[in-house]
Structure 1
Amino acid sequence: MEFVEEVLQRPPLVLGVDPRPGLHGPEPLEHIRRYTLGLMEALAGKICAVKFQTAFFEALGPAGFGLMHELVVGARVLSLPVIVDAKRGDIGSTAEAYARAYLEAYPGSALTVNPYLGHDALEPFLRTAARSGGAVFVLVKTSNPGSSLFQDLPLADGRRLYQAVADHLVQEAERQRVGAWSRLGAVVGATYPAQVWELRERLPWSLFLLPGLGAQGGQAIRGPGLLNTASRALYYPGGRPDLEGALHQAEAYLSELAPSL
């Protein structure tokens, strides 16, 4: 099944996996493995996808990167869609290699990508996503406080830079439609709710990945195609590994999102 179809059949909450080894005892990789598998199983009916932040696994060395692959496989065994949050972006054969490394290696999954090298840097990811039943989430308006430094730059035609990025994606999003929605999605921070709704008008067919829920101060945003993402607040409720706390936190978020279910 296509990534787009899978996530839309589920509650609009994404579990972000950003492991901190210092919170996992003397054998952190083994504890991260057991905790994450247990957490995904416990939350399987309450989330639409699992988002793996590659940086935290890469920081753990080759064994950490292997662990991420094992957890991706575990998510798929649990029938959970996967988003690889790698923010890749390059041109030519390098972009094609990145696309093979994630979208082709994990069929039916999604990848976050950076658009600032131009459309030719996006094309290999879109082609591979179409072949593999996956999706691409393009950085448009990110959740961090410093995003305005470049993304909000005014252009000569009166638009902001992030608005120009969104407008450029419109036709491609139309071409990439899988039914009512597109496999070309956008990353828009839940920390900028006004921009979420403004960009929804510009990109009506795109799923929005909304990071920043919880620890970054973002609030749950209800609406079709809005995938609210919580990492630290859901993976480490109360600042530590806690399966029961994660279940309670997920239920609290879903109660806020209930009208969109």
Structure 2
Amino acid sequence: MGFDFVSEVAARPPLVLGVDPRPAWHPGPDPLAHLEGYATRLMEALAADLAAVKFQYAFFEALGGSGWALLERLVATARVLGLPVVHDAKRGDIGTTAAAYARATLERWPGSALTVNPYLGGDALEPFFAAAARGGGAVFVLVKTSNPGSADFQDLDAGGRPLYLRVAERVAAWAEAWPAEPWSRVGAVVGGTHPEALEALRPVLPASLFLVPGLGAQGASPLPGAGLLWSASRSLFYPDGRPDLEAARRQAAAYLRDLAG
């Protein structure tokens, strides 16, 4: 099968670099060229310290065709560096549309992972699970997100338990159906801004990797734990609010010290 996302990230440090590009923060007459050069150097500098690189699709989509081209080049660069890739696109649709989304991400980039939305139910996610299994990839299902408004729906009472725990029970069944080593191909997105949810969800999802956003700008505190992939975007890609390679190195080292306990 070649490169396998699950086994690769399990053997690496638990820190994920989130790439949310802001061209306006890059100097010079060609901000995208500066951005690409900075992102490449940063991935090279941090490669040994990262579990994966997470590309937030919205920031690339906002740039139109040039953004899509930049995304493809940076994903290719990450793979050349041996870095696992997470496509943070939060896809979720039915039938042939879901299959097309899977082809555009998990099949186009075998050995990568994709974030998905479970709101449309299990049949909408099956094409993503199948594509991940064929290509040695993974799927992270939104369970408890890092934003304050997640409580609007995710914390609703569902038979005496919050809805996010009911979602987690379904994710656990999918994780059992799509095994890999040493974790399932079906993981969960659990915001680090909700440490109580992290604690409550681990026994419900014993086979799943957790993608944990929220470090830095959202205020989450890094906590050590098996199968937790902590993602930092603005605080690591743009430390101090600007592109700064040395500051990013220092920030990564600080996060890894905290995650080592």
1:206 alignment counterpart: 208
SS at match of 1:108: coil
2:232 alignment counterpart: 230
Count residues with an aligned counterpart.
258
% identity of equivalent residues: 64
TM-score (norm 2): 0.98
After TM superposition, give the deviation of residue 179 of structure 1 in Å: 2.5
After TM superposition, give the deviation of residue 196 of structure 1 in Å: 0.5
Give the distance between the partners of 2:211 and 2:173, measured in 1 at CA: 19
2:124 alignment counterpart: 121
Contact 2:7/2:182 (<8 A) preserved: no
Q: Which aligned segments of 4 or more residues in structure 1 are displaced greater than 3 angstroms?
A: none
After TM superposition, give the deviation of residue 174 of structure 1 in Å: 1.2
SS at match of 2:149: helix
1:137 alignment counterpart: 140
Alpha-carbon RMSD across the aligned residues, in angstroms, is: 0.7
TM-superposition CA deviations, 1:170-199 (whole Å, max 9, x none) = 121012121231010000000001100100
Give the distance between the partners of 2:143 and 2:30, measured in 1 at CA: 38
Give the distance between the partners of 2:182 and 2:81, measured in 1 at CA: 26
Give the distance between the partners of 1:246 and 1:176, measured in 2 at CA: 36
Give the distance between the partners of 2:56 and 2:162, measured in 1 at CA: 28
After TM superposition, give the deviation of residue 218 of structure 1 in Å: 0.5
After TM superposition, give the deviation of residue 242 of structure 1 in Å: 0.3
Contact 2:6/2:181 (<8 A) preserved: no
Give the distance between the partners of 1:8 and 1:119, measured in 2 at CA: 26
Instruction: Indicate yes or no: 2:50 matched with 1:50.
Output: no
Map 1:183-198 → 2, pairs under 5 A: 183-198=185-200
1:32 alignment counterpart: 35
Instruction: Indicate yes or no: 2:71 matched with 1:97.
Output: no
Give the distance between the partners of 1:145 and 1:28, measured in 2 at CA: 32
Give the distance between the partners of 1:224 and 1:175, measured in 2 at CA: 21
Paired letter, 2:58:
A
1:108 alignment counterpart: 111
Give the distance between the partners of 2:125 and 2:115, measured in 1 at CA: 11
Contact 2:10/2:182 (<8 A) preserved: no
1:241 to 239, 243, 257: 243
2:82 to 58, 62, 79: 79
1:13 alignment counterpart: 15
5+ residue gaps in structure 1?
Answer: none
2:62 alignment counterpart: 59
Give the distance between the partners of 2:172 and 2:192, measured in 1 at CA: 21
Contact 2:186/2:208 (<8 A) preserved: yes
Paired letter, 1:185:
G
